[in-house]
Structure 1
Amino acid sequence: MKTTSPQRVKLFPKNVYGTVEKRITPTQPGRVRFQGSTWKARFYGAACPVLVPGDAVKVVGLEGITLLVLPKGDASDTPDR
C-alpha cells in the first residue's frame, strides 16, 4: 500500500498579495489569482470570514500546490521590514 507524506508548509518571507477568483470559506478552499495565474487557495491558521471574488488576500505561503492566504486587512498584515 502506498502512503503519502504530509505536505510541507513553506511560508513566504515578504508580504505578497493576490485576488480571490472563486469564493473561499473556512471549510472550503477556493481559487486566487497570484503572479499571473490562478491557484487553489485555503485559509492559513485560524478561521477567517468568507472571501468572495474580487477580495484582496495576503498570500503567506504554500502547502504543496495550494496557496495559504489571509484576508488582506488581517491583523497579521504588517508592512515588510
Structure 2
Amino acid sequence: MFIAGRAFLSGEDCVFAAGIESRKVAIRTALKRSLKHSAGLLKRVVFVAFPVSIIVFVLIDMGTFDALSQYSGWMPLPP
C-alpha cells in the first residue's frame, strides 16, 4: 500500500492552502467548492480502492483466507 501511495501521490499533491474568508458561504456553495477541490484525490482513492476490494472479494469467495487461517496455526487469525 505504501508503494502504491508513493507511485500515485507526489509531494505537491498534499499542500494545504486554505484561504480564510470573513463572509459566510451558503451550504450549496461550500459543498461545490469542497467537491471541486477534492475531486482529484477522490478519483485516485476510488481507482485504487475499487480494484483492491474486487480482488479481496474474489479471494474471500475462493476461500483463501479460510485456508490461510487453517494452515497457519501460529498466526492468530479468526476462523
Scaled by the length of structure 2, what TM-score is found? 0.21
Scaled by the length of structure 1, what TM-score is found?
Answer: 0.21
Greater percentage in helix? 2
Larger Rg: 2
